[in-house]
């Protein structure tokens, strides 16, 4: 089973990388971009075949290592 974890900063948390990307897009002539929030995607190949067990395992990984749950949100996608 494959898992994708999308990690993004929570609303209200300053995002200096997003601000830098926003400024760079403006300087390259891309107008109309109101805000940029930068995040990361983590891809995992899991041996699990049971979706519930895989989701529980990835949830635990997120809480313990993959995301800083104080300042970040995460979303999990599973596929066969």
pLDDT for position 49: 94
- pTM (2 d.p.): 0.88
pLDDT tier for residue 15 given thresholds of 50, 70 and 90: very high
R_g of the chain, CA atoms, integer Å: 16
* Domain with 30 in it: 2-79
Strand ranges for the chain from DSSP E: 2-9, 39-45, 72-79
Name the strands in the sheet holding 72-79, side by side, starting at the edge strand that comes first in the sequence. Answer: 39-45, 2-9, 72-79
Mean pLDDT over 3-28 rounds to 97
| Predicted confidence (pLDDT) per residue in 20-61, tens digit | 999 999 999 999 999 999 999 999 999 999 999 999 999 999
What is the CATH number for 41?
3.30.1280.10
Total domains, the chain = 1
Contact 59, 67 (CB under 8 A): no
């Amino acid at each position: 089973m494959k898992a994708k974890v999308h990690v993004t900063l929570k609303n209200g948390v300053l995002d200096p990388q997003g601000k830098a990307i926003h400024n760079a897009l403006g300087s390259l002539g891309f107008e109309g971009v109101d805000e940029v929030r930068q995040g990361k995607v983590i891809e995992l190949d899991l041996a699990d075949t049971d979706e519930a067990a895989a989701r529980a395992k990835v949830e635990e990984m997120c809480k313990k290592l993959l995301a800083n749950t104080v300042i970040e949100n995460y979303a999990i996608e599973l596929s066969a």
